[in-house]
Amino acid sequence: MRTEAATVLEPLWDGVLAPAGLAASSGATCELPGRFEAVRDARRFTRTTLQSWDLAPLFDSIELVASELVTNALRYAVPPGAGGAPVHLSLVRWTSRVVCAVRDPSAIGPVARTPDFVAESGRGLHLVESYSETWGWHPLTGAGKVVWALFHSPVGMAEDPSL
């Protein structure tokens, strides 16, 4: 994890790593089936959650990143023949930041490839890097990992200024 992001993300880790304890006003998580059709559900979940937080200006960026992270999890982290092992998408907000995180069953970290602008795939992590403030991944105890992207949201956009 990048050092500058570590300090910012520390208060968010509890919500990302233990989403059941999140208050609806500061976080939301959904389980997505291990099928590529789930990417559409990830976009819908992201838009609905951001709308409930009155963060409409962030729709496009976070929705794009969520769909890229879910696509990568489904393509590279869900074991073939695993019967569509689910992935989990979490959105957490804290002060002037929003984190989008995807949990998957693989312990292998994502690797950004050299972009080939003619190829049909391989640019996802470059999009994540372009649209987010920073991104990274964190291995989980036991099995799996969380791949996250951090976004800046002006404090005035938050529904509750104490967040």
CB 90 within 8 A of CB 65: no
How do residues 88-132 score in pLDDT, each as one tens digit?
Answer: 999 998 878 899 999 999 988 888 777 666 655 567 888 999 999
Based on its alpha-carbon atoms, the radius of gyration of the chain, rounded to whole angstroms, reads 15
Q: Which two tokens stand for residue 108?
A: 């292998």
CB 16 within 8 A of CB 146: yes
Which of 20, 23, 65, 17 has its CA nearest to residue 42? 65
d(CA 26, CA 91): 8
- The gap between the terminal CA atoms of the chain, to the nearest Å, is 24
Compute the average pLDDT of residues 127-148.
Answer: 90
**pLDDT higher than 60, residue 19:** no
How do residues 148-159 score in pLDDT, each as one tens digit?
Answer: 999 998 655 444
How do residues 26-61 score in pLDDT, each as one tens digit?
Answer: 889 999 998 888 999 999 999 999 999 999 999 999
pLDDT of residue 9: 54
Which of 77, 97, 86 has its CA nearest to residue 34? 86
